[in-house]
Amino acid sequence: MPSEPTSFSSESYFATQPPPSTLEHDIAGVRNFVARQQASGRNVVLVTSGGTTVPLELNVVRFLDNFSAGTRGATSAEYFLKSGYAVIFMHRQFSLQPFSRHYSHSTNPFLDFLEIDEDQPSSSFSSSHPQISSSSLTSQTSSEPKAATCPSQIGVTPSKRTHLLEVLTAYKQVHASGTLHTLTFVTVNDYLWLLRAVSQELSALNRKAMYYLAAAVSDFFLPRQKMSEHKIQSGKGSLHIEMDQVPKILKPMVDEWTRNGYIVSFKLETDPALLIPKARASLERYGHQVVIGNDLNRRKFEVVFVSRKVSSTPVRLTTGSEDVFEENWLRIDLNQDNDKEIEEDIVRELVKRHEEWVRKEE
């Protein structure tokens, strides 16, 4: 008989599920980053991005995955950086990242940006390639081949130069200013442990911290205690798995882990009729600041901000919520402006709202 599903609170979750082995190291890096940003007086936003996995075995061969390429998170992170924020970018390993997202291998392969300049005279790597020094080439043993002769030089396709230069310049500036800190997760367990620890570190910034939860987080998982150690065998026919519910972590996040931080969550639905009621229910239940609703098929050009009306106090309501919440739709016309990214407008609106939130402290 299958065992009963367990209902995990966030306390019982963290008491029974083991932390990822890299947690302490990751958090030391975050602490350092937060201290530097605090000294410089910057606002900091935690952006979560990409989908979490749920492994089915301890020696994992199979897992369930959540839908998300990481576009929303990676794009938003870039606009936050542009707006002067420092960004902790917590993303699913190998999902899209700020800046490099422009050259995703599937939609915009990097090699398509390069061309071989046949007009340049032939030369060896050692003299024409600044990255490969002649000393590294001369240290080769005599049995190794001599420095390869480079038939020509590599250039950037002229039509792509302006864009590449823009992206590269922004990327270099962000690296020089040290305003981007990157963390990775794979499983929902990695995500939950990291989210709690990063939120607690970031709470040192009080109202100057924003939390932008764009990751697509699994709702169900297999606790370690119920996982098969080895690969599940297929010989027994169909597979029945009973999963437990992932604890709703927005509640402890609002009530315990963050101190007056500005918390933005996302609500993804495929039935448009559910978007606003579910977003409102989330605000009622957790008491955070904004839910951004997005429909799966319209998310690139339309989102809705659901929040409490300015005069309303953040009390939990069970009835009459229509009077308490307001919706602001944000739309872009992709026919008119093909290059426009809706994240630019999302971030602009949030920065404005966050500034008002920070001012409340003064």
Minimum distance of ligand PMT from residue 20's CB (angstroms): 16
Cβ proximity to ligand PMT: between 86 and 249 the closer is 249
Minimum distance of ligand PMT from residue 303's CB (angstroms): 8
Cβ proximity to ligand PMT: between 289 and 294 the closer is 294
Cβ proximity to ligand PMT: between 56 and 69 the closer is 69
Minimum distance of ligand PMT from residue 32's CB (angstroms): 24
Q: Within 10 A of 161 (CB to CB), how many other CB atoms are there?
A: 12
Minimum distance of ligand PMT from residue 329's CB (angstroms): 15
Cβ proximity to ligand PMT: between 97 and 294 the closer is 294
Minimum distance of ligand PMT from residue 293's CB (angstroms): 8
Minimum distance of ligand PMT from residue 79's CB (angstroms): 14
Cβ proximity to ligand PMT: between 205 and 215 the closer is 215
Cβ proximity to ligand PMT: between 180 and 250 the closer is 250
Number of residues written out for the chain? 362
Minimum distance of ligand PMT from residue 337's CB (angstroms): 19
Give the per-residue SS3 of the chain. CCCCCCECCHHHHHHHCCCCCCHHHHHHHHHHHHHHHHHHCCCEEEEEECECEEECECCCCCEEECCCCCHHHHHHHHHHHHCCCEEEEEEECCCCCCCHHHHCCCCCCHHHHEEEECCCCCEEHHHHCCCCCHHHHHCCCCCCCCCCEECCEEEECHHHHHHHHHHHHHHHHHHHHCCEEEEEECEHHHHHHHHHHHHHHHHHHHHHEEEEECCECCCEECCHHHCECCCCCCCCCCCCCCCEECCCCHHHHHHHHCCCCEEEEEEEECCHHHHHHHHHHHHHHHCCCEEEEEECCCCCCEEEEEEECCCCCCCCCCCCHHHCEEEEEEECCCCCCCCCCHHHHHHHHHHHHHHHHHHCCC
Q: Within 10 A of 76 (CB to CB), how many other CB atoms are there?
A: 26
Cβ proximity to ligand PMT: between 68 and 179 the closer is 68
* Torsion sign across C-alpha atoms 205, 206, 209, 213: positive
Minimum distance of ligand PMT from residue 34's CB (angstroms): 20
Minimum distance of ligand PMT from residue 209's CB (angstroms): 16
Cβ proximity to ligand PMT: between 37 and 218 the closer is 218
Cβ proximity to ligand PMT: between 33 and 266 the closer is 266
Minimum distance of ligand PMT from residue 202's CB (angstroms): 14
Q: How far apart are CA 315 and CA 321, in angstroms?
A: 11
Q: Would you state the structure tokens that stand for residue 349, as one six-digit string?
A: 């609106």
Binding site for ligand PMT (CB under 6 A): 48, 68-72, 213-217, 219, 246, 249-250, 265-268, 294, 299
Give me the helix-helix angle, 342-359 and 71-82, nearest 10°. 60
Cβ proximity to ligand PMT: between 150 and 201 the closer is 201
